[in-house]
Amino acid sequence: MNPADVLETARGWLAQDPDPATRAELEELVTKATDGEAAASAELQTRFAGRLEFGTAGLRGELGAGSMRMNRVLVSQAAAGLAAYLLAREEQPSIVIGYDGRHNSDVFARDTAELMAGAGVRAILMPRMLPTPVLAFAVRHLDVSAGVMVTASHNPARDNGYKVYLGRDSEGSQIVAPADKEIAAEIERVAAGSIADLPRSTDFELADESVVTEYIAQTAAIGNAPAPLKFVYTAMHGVGWETASAVFRAAGFDDIVAVEEQLTPDPEFPTVAFPNPEEPGALDLSFEVATEAGADLIIANDPDADRLAVAIPSENGWRRLTGNEVGAWLGWRVAERMSQGAEDGTLAASIVSSPALSRIARGYDLGYADTLTGFKWVSRVPGLAYGYEEALGYLVDPVKIRDKDGISAAVAFLSLASELKAAGVSFEEHERTFAEKFGAFASGQISVRVKDLKEIPAITSRLRTEPPTEIGGVAVVQVDDFAVGVGEFPKGDILRYTLEGGSRVIVRPSGTEPKLKVYLDAASEEGSAEERIAAAQRTLETLDRGVRALLAV
């Protein structure tokens, strides 16, 4: 777009922007660009180079003025487009809208409620900032047509997002194709006009407190506390504490030591560099509090509480379990309980998650399904009994909710820890028993963060043009390129390498951040439990060195 067109587009955006902050921000850029300031012109080009893409993750991006940022204009266009989509599908559609504690989450949620009501959609706004799982629960509990959660989950402080769920036939799962494209087309149609012309109404409902109460009751009901536990909990400056603590106490886990500095919602996330419990340093305060308290374990939610991180004591201090370790242990517990009740069902995990869950399913003669990355796929597996993905997402109660839920997963893990304590079994002994029964599994991840998103397809294109024959000295025996099709999976920019000995490397772009992600998996079924664990770890270290050499990182 040439500078004159960019200025015209920016002025058109200004004319409809109801937010004084973003309007002032954009007015300053327009004035400077009009005066010939090159930096301002370049910034406008960046802000209006396109639109934030509405896809199966909804919208997510940095706050600010412009079509490539999250703001009231963009959210209003999305809300009106979603309303049009719902009205074309149902005569009397309905929607429930939730929001977390990030900057502008409440504003975006109210805009959505007013625009939905103005368009003729029954709109129900959650009573206050609440975790994402409560909103996902509400979609099913209230039997509405759709749900919106305003959150950017564990993204940086300057981000926000707009996650969409569908009810009825989709049972409260996140949107998938073709719904994403159909909604995006309606949004584009709305964006051709001005949001100032869109009808608004304050005739929306506030959800009754009973929705939250019922979520707490149903989530607590999956708990089992045969032995008392002292555990540390952190909300990571998010919205988890109020709901999670009520659930824990109702489930019988009331000896909670809170990380006070991270308990209250704070959109600036002041004590962490990155509000993701996976990131190095994110749990340092939790480790300090847990050591001082003599806690049995640490439970951490991300800011919207749909993810769970767990740390356990070890001889070298606190050890954060990987998402795959938590996923396998919870899956084993589910499979064992199903076998005791002679129940049938399917376990599921995303393709980038550890093969451990498929081994558990085989050991208990249960169904198993691999899915594409994202809970929008995991949650839709027929007959699902349990599902997870390695990025700290777990679905332990699919009857209640069809999305990852860090609070119910926390209750399940606390129950496991309590059961082990009652039986006099340590976490280390539990790990060894797992290795004896199913084999040892080790997993890791390498992230290549980029400044320009075009760098990612350049890397994957090079890997396709010059496919590796070995990684870290281990021969590649099979290459699956999802771009050309693998089985029944939709096509996508994913490369999967199977190596000699059964280890695996998967390369894919992140769906929410500007980085390329590489997933490493190793396994061993030879020797004693200790030997298996050590062998899997050695192979993982070999793969890590090999991938870093391959990608020159």
Which residues are annotated as catalytic? 153
With 0-12 CB in 10 A as exposed, 13-18 as middle and 19+ as buried, what is 108? Answer: buried
Q: What is the DSSP letter of 322?
A: P
Report how far Cα 371 is from the mean position of its chain's Cα atoms: 15
Q: What six digits make up the tokens of 159?
A: 């981000």
Q: What six digits make up the tokens of 323?
A: 């998402």
Please, what is the angle between helix 406-422 and helix 132-141, to 10°? 100
Q: What is the DSSP letter of 337?
A: H
- Give the chain's radius of gyration (CA, Å): 24
- Residue pointed to by tokens 């396994």: 523
- Residue pointed to by tokens 């010059």: 466
Contact status, residue 192 vs residue 136, Cβ threshold 8 Å: no
Q: Could you please report the per-residue DSSP string of 162-220?
A: EEEEE-GGGTTEEP-TTHHHHHHHHHHHHHTS-GGGS---S--EEPPTHHHHHHHHHHH
Neighbours of 14 (CB within 10 A): 17
Strands 159-166 and 146-150: antiparallel
CA 375 – CA 511 distance, rounded (Å): 12
Neighbours of 192 (CB within 10 A): 7
CA 255 – CA 294 distance, rounded (Å): 12
- For the chain, give the longest Cα–Cα distance: 75
Handedness of CA 273, 278, 281, 287 (dihedral sign): positive
